Structure 1
Amino acid sequence: MPRAAQPPQNTHLVNRDSKFAALALALALPADTVLYLLLPMYAEQFGVTLAQAGLLLAANRLIRIVGYGFVARFYARHGDRLTCTLAVVAAAICALGYATLSGLWALLPLRLLWGLSFAALNLSTQMLATADPVGAAQRSGRSRAFTALGPVIALPVAGLLAYGYGPRPVFWLLAATALLGLLVTRQLSRHHQPTPAKRRGLTRPNSLDVWSFLEGFTLDGLFIIGLSYLGSELLPGGAVVMAGTLLAARYLGEIVLSPLGGRLAERFGAENALVGLSLLTSATLIGFGLGWFWSGAAAIVVLRALQLPLLAPIVAQRTPGPERVHALAARSVWRDIGAGTGPLLAGVLLPFMSPAWLYSVPALLLAGAAIACVQRPAPGALPQER
């Protein structure tokens, strides 16, 4: 029988474990974020077409649609230390594969493995950030900031190295970086999460699911692929350096602004902050598609960073108790569905379709989904997930 001990509520220990889980993710994540930068620009050197590159970049998201349930149960049984340790080892294996293998069928298993690894690390960081309801929003913001440390350093360095030496040597360095995560995961506590009842398959999406899907579709799918593809057309020579710098700025924005997003949620309410920032993001995406490329991209980076800490506190408030594991996983699944289909669609349509249409329609849908997330319970009633 799996152990079901409650996680510790000591604030110092919760803060400590939340920080170490985020640092483990920070060391494992660059192998993935750098691939998003380099694969569309150097697709031929990896032995794939642009459409196949979109499939590979989507695959890690798509596997989590069916794999998050398994990851959630494994995490509940075995706790943060073992789960995160296995995840950072898998991240190092994936980076070694990117450095040495070519072709769709050789790279696809690595993307699937990374998808499950990220699911484990992401779930651990969210669960630990919301383990104590007091200060959960601010802790989520700090967790996002720690997570962003790895990509913010790796992306500009990877862009420079790829410009001078090609994309492959970069991933040897990133494999070693991921293995440093073993030093961090040893610091995590051994406590286990309460094991929730098993759920099968996807349930009918609620308002938070729809918003998660559209945010993943636009910001983690269409926007990232468009930044690499359109940037290479606008700045052919140094596109990899410029795009790498801008993507690094995206994660630097998380370090600086995600804690601010957490404070905004504490002051004005996470739902209100989510709606306001989503509306601004939608307007900026439309401008990005209409041709305000670099300025629009910079604004999207800022707005995305402010939004990142908002969802976990909303979910924790609406779904307390052991079911929080499944609730957080479900939001991540719907975001992954969106972020998985976004690169697929972008890889097929960007060479042929006007960016104005490609970005404006999802942006308007994102605005509507954010408004639908606002929950107004009856006086005296406990908030329930919609």
Structure 2
Amino acid sequence: MASHPPVTPNAAQSAAPTDGGSSAVVVSAAIMALALLGDSLLYVVLPLYAHEFGIGLAWVGVLLSANRLIRVVAYGGVAALGERIGPRRLTLIAGVLAAVSTLLYAVGDGGPVLLAARIVWGLAFAALNLTTLVYAVSRTGRQGRSVGTSKAVASVGPVLSLSIGAWLVTVIGPRDIFAILAGLTVLAIPLSLMLPAAHPVAGRSDRSILPRPTRNDLLGFIIGFGIDGIFVMTLALILKDVVSMESAVIASGLMIALRRLMEIVTAPIGGVLGDRFGAARMVLLFGGLLCAGLAGIAAGLPFMGACAVVLGHGALVTLQPVLVAQRNPGAVMNRLAVLATWRDIGAAVGPLTAGLLAARFDLEAIYAPLAVATLVMLVWACRPPGPKVVAAG
């Protein structure tokens, strides 16, 4: 791998937005909300209307996971591009890609075309995930509050798509709804021009497919593995032992929707607490709540446990990026890309592991060690970094 000049803190910070303040945080998050409209609804529509898209059920799993897999590969390159061209231009490119992918859901037929759309979306999301965080963490002293606001605004898109959009599917059909959503996503393009400019720099980014993780990255991995992977996949199975099968499906769907709604509520609160008391302390607090929820599920308290997991997770999606920014002020975009990569790896491995284990073990036997492993990683990640050794010269 070719070597790149090291990034000094001043040079790295010059890649951050130069002005805009809170308006840049809200605008970049609104762009993400618009971009997420099509992707969010696809998870509901595609399994039920696969034949309308010219595919079988075998393709559904491939298409719904393809965007996450492409992000694992692409985050390093996307971060490097963002360091060269700046976050505003990267957001503009991502807005165009998001609109194209959503339009392809409306007009594309067959697995290969839809797979191309999912790959395009994976690249768009990778870029937007980084730029929204970069605009938020650029506000020194208010990083937690800004990231919380950004997460809350961005979550409005999926909530509206999964409610109003899902209802419109029954009125106008599963294909035409994506044409409407594509038209709304196009609004992200002029919005991106409202973002503040930044000076691109030639930075050193880890372009390897599997970048070396820090303790915080490994915490992101286990949260992706346990919550985005195992918890989401097995929630209905957990609840069916308490209520009827039909009620379990409804309850699990509402619980997953509640996870998005909780991000709108808990992300800003967690961010404010992170600014006031320190991100590491708040990661430890809300991570402890998440671990308690996992332990509650293992102990036979599925509803209470699931609620605790959802609340803890909603705050952690804000606090972890803030912790990364505070510990890596000279390479924010690159380190956020590494965190996102390892979290996506965990979220991709989690469902596969759950499928293998759930057929052989009781769910309580899965959640108990998961709670312990998450707690151990949480405590390790939140320990303050040791002093850097400076060679005598």
Q: TM-score range by the shorter chain?
A: 0.7 to 0.9
Q: What SS class does the counterpart of residue 29 from structure 1 fall into?
A: helix
The CA distance in 2 between the partners of 1:316 and 1:279, in whole Å, is: 21
Residue of 180, 187, 195 corresponding to 2:187: 180
What letter is aligned with 1:301? Answer: V
Corresponding residue SS for 2:38: helix
Kindly provide the CA deviation profile for residues 100-128 of structure 1, in whole angstroms up to 9, marking residues without a partner as x: 54655443322222111111001101111
Alignment of 1:162-311 (within 5 A): 162=169, 167-201=174-208, 202-227=210-235, 245-288=254-297, 292-293=301-302, 296-311=305-320
Alignment of 1:306-321 (within 5 A): 306-321=315-330
What's 1:18 paired with? 25
Give the aligned residue type for 1:334: W
The correspondence for 2:79, drawn from 72, 90, 94, is: 72
Supply the distance in 2 between the matched residues of 1:383 and 1:302 (Cα, whole angstroms).
Answer: 39
Q: Residue 8 of structure 2 aligns with which residue?
A: none
Conserved in 2, the CA contact under 8 Å of 1:221 and 1:340? yes
Give CA-to-partner distance per residue, 1:120-156, whole Å, 9 cap, x none.
Answer: 0011011111113221111111111111111121112
Tell me if structure 1 keeps the 8 A contact 2:15–2:83.
Answer: no
> For structure 1, which segment, 195-204 or 224-233, has the greater mean C-alpha deviation from structure 2 after superposition?
224-233
Q: In the TM superposition, what are the counterparts of 1:47-86 in structure 2 within 5 Å? A: 47-49=55-57, 53-86=60-93
Structure of larger gyration radius: 2
SS at match of 2:20: helix
| Alignment gaps of 5+ in structure 1 | none
Q: Residue in 1 aligned with 2:5?
A: none
SS across alignment from 1:195: coil
TM-score, with structure 1 as normaliser? 0.84
Tell whether the 8 Å contact from 2:24 to 2:135 is kept in structure 1 after alignment.
Answer: yes
Q: CA deviation at 1:41?
A: 5.4
Query: Which of 371, 377, 386 in structure 1 is aligned with 2:379?
Result: 371
Partner of 1:30: 37
AA in 2 matched with 1:336 = D
Structure 1 pair 231–101 and aligned structure 2 pair: CA distance change class (3 A): farther
Alpha-carbon shift at residue 71 of structure 1 (Å): 0.6
Give the RMSD, CA atoms, in angstroms.
3.4
Distance of 1:350 and 1:160 partners within structure 2: 33
Match of 2:338 among 330, 340, 350: 330
Instruction: Give me the TM-score of the superposition, normalised by structure 2.
Output: 0.82
Cα distance, 1:154–1:296 mapped onto 2, change above 3 Å: farther
- Aligned-residue sequence identity (percent) comes to 35
Q: Distance in 1 between matches of 2:355 and 2:174?
A: 20
Cα distance change on mapping 1:13 and 1:30 into 2, 3 Å = same
Q: Which residue among 74, 79, 95 is the counterpart of 2:102?
A: 95
Deviation at 1:77, TM superposition (A): 2.0
Structure 2 alignment gaps of length 5 or more: 1-10
User: Does the 8 Å contact 2:12/2:203 carry over to 1?
Assistant: no
